[in-house]
With several copies, the nearest count.
Chain A
């Protein structure tokens, strides 16, 4: 259980769409991970990044990456059969215990950790609706797989209307809560979206679990880099309940750059952009 990278061979690489790839490999330590947990993924001499598990099974583990920066462009150029370094799984993961009905809201590459969550909800017999959004059709992830698994319970939105309903996921979330209040809302996506999701849930009196993101170093709760107020995203999170987030002055507002400098979420997002 030593937290240093293990090199694993990329068994299979799937092109999800223009900008997203899913990488499959064997990594026993993650075979019983919870949806929402993440790995630190090391590309030697490039960088190491926290990446959510987008596939959890005994047979194989998957991660889905948006190709856009130095690290992610690098991983996109690695061919099948080559190795990457992984350590983890880290974080707490979503909790589905005792829940009978849920709405899941996924935004952009936030859909990655939602995939194993959907599997888990179905396995647990939870009545599940999924609202999945992206800027445009080509940004959608796992569309056909989700359609297959959820049928009419899948609701798609795009900012430009190139697929599904034109507009934001939160609009559909509002409609769905109004139609039938779920016991829990699960969500992952841009923090600005999560903030809106929290607001709607609070108003409707529905519990929620939201997945957050901050720049990380250790990933296991030592360095403090990922702090949001007194919370460590890597260890206390990345999944937080709405109750906890409602008390956080930094949620939706403030994040830390690599130096530890506190900046507005907007400035952080410009630096970060995922």
Chain B
């Protein structure tokens, strides 16, 4: 099940998505031990940020909805975590966010010295006003952010994370590739969406709106990855609603070289990564597939 994702070796194609569990080094190492081929830290911002008040993360019938609001200790306060990550058994992806090109640059400067395997550029968070989606819905601004981060990142790979809210996600991916992206991550949470409690007569999330994840968004994620695959030649980290081996295989068939999971840890536990990797292997055996890489993008044939 070993794969290579833009030059990074992974024991299997499963990746912990950003914002799930990854608040500290020890949890990331635990997830790696529980089977993830790579792990992503919770997105890091330019300064300490509280995030939104509770309720911030809720389950609904077909997935999760969250408006955590990008809390972060700020990149300056994370030395301790980065140091402890040196012996993580899987490659570490560091996710970053900012509200301006300058902020993205500052965070990149602050973390590049720790030499993460990949810098994930979060331009797609749907539940903050200043950060996130505004960069990810426009091909030009998306490219500007990628270019700025890439300049500072040097030999470290950079991977913008895109939003399904973009009206032409393929165009945005193409424009990021031209700006120097080494990979594309898609998708961030969908929406935003909203839960209302009829008895309370109120929106349930304190922020009212939040990003939708989990099984409900899988068809949207598959379509996005499919379209991006047709548009770029860099590899795709596909995510959104993957909870089992077949979901992961479908995502790879749509065009993903590796597959991210977040919400799945709620349904299947922290060892979701091992479970899904095993299910993928089982599927491969049943279908006489020797090398998982053969499946990447096959639905396009």
- Using CB atoms and an 8 Å cutoff, list the residues of chain A in contact with chain B: 2-5, 7, 40, 42, 44-45, 47-49, 83, 85, 87, 216-225, 227, 229-230, 232, 256-262
**Cα distance, A219 to B56, chains bound together (Å):** 10
Tell me, rounded to whole Å, the shortest Cβ–Cβ distance linking A100 to chain B.
33
Select which of A48, A217, A224, A259 is within 8 A of B49 by beta carbon. Answer: A259
CA distance A45 to B54 in the complex (A): 9
CA distance A229 to B24 in the complex (A): 8
CB contact list, B130-185 vs A, under 8 A: none
CB-based contact A230/B57 at 8 Å: no
| Pairwise interchain contact B204-A260, C-beta atoms closer than 8 A | no
Assembled-state Cα–Cα distance A258/B262 (Å): 21
List, in ascending order, chain B residues with CB within 8 A of A44's CB.
Answer: 197, 200, 202
> Does B13 interact with chain A (Cβ within 8 Å)?
no
Q: Inside 8 A of A225's CB, which chain B residues have their CB?
A: 23, 71
Is the beta-carbon distance between B19 and A5 smaller than 8 angstroms? no
A2, A49, A222, A229: the one within 8 Å of B54 (CB): A49
B-side interface residues toward A, CB under 8 Å? 19-24, 26-27, 29-30, 42, 48-51, 53-61, 64, 66, 68, 71-74, 77, 80, 195, 197, 199-200, 202, 204, 206, 262-263, 265-266, 270
User: Helix, strand, loop or mixed for chain B's interface?
Assistant: loop
Question: A220 vs B54: C-alpha distance in the bound complex, in angstroms?
Answer: 14
- Contact: B42 with A230, CB < 8 Å? no
Complex CA gap A168/B227 in Å reads: 56
B81: min CB distance to chain A, Å: 9
Known: A40-B55, A42-B204, A222-B265. A259 touches B71 (CB 8 A): yes
Q: Can you give 11 A-B contacts (C-beta < 8 A)?
A: A4-B58, A42-B55, A83-B199, A83-B200, A218-B57, A222-B21, A224-B24, A258-B71, A259-B72, A260-B71, A262-B73
Roughly how many angstroms separate A256 CA and B24 CA in the complex, as a whole number? 10
- Output the least CB separation between A152 and chain B (Å): 43
Query: Are B197 and A259 neighbours in the complex by a CB distance under 8 Å?
Result: no
Q: A224-B22, A261-B73 are in contact. Are A7 and B27 (CB under 8 A)?
A: no
CB pair A230–B55 under 8 Å, yes or no, is: no
CA A257 to CA B30, docked complex, whole Å: 22
Let me know if B71 and A221 touch, CB within 8 A. no
Q: Which of A45, A217, A223, A229 has the most chain B CB atoms inside 10 A of its CB?
A: A223
Say whether, besides A220-B59, A221-B265, A222-B265, A7 and B26 are in contact (CB < 8 Å). no
Q: Let me know if B55 and A5 touch, CB within 8 A.
A: yes
| Residues B60 and A4 in contact, CB atoms below 8 Å apart | yes
B204 A259 Cβ-Cβ under 8 A: no
Contact B27 A223 (CB under 8 A): no
Asked if A260 and B266 sit within 8 Å, CB to CB, the answer is: no
Q: How far is the CB of A90 from chain B (nearest CB, A)?
A: 12
In Å, the complex CA distance between A257 and B72 comes to 10
A7 to B204, CA, bound (A): 11
A82 → chain B closest CB, angstroms: 11
**B58 nearest CB neighbor, chain A only:** A4
| Cα distance, A256 to B20, chains bound together (Å) | 16
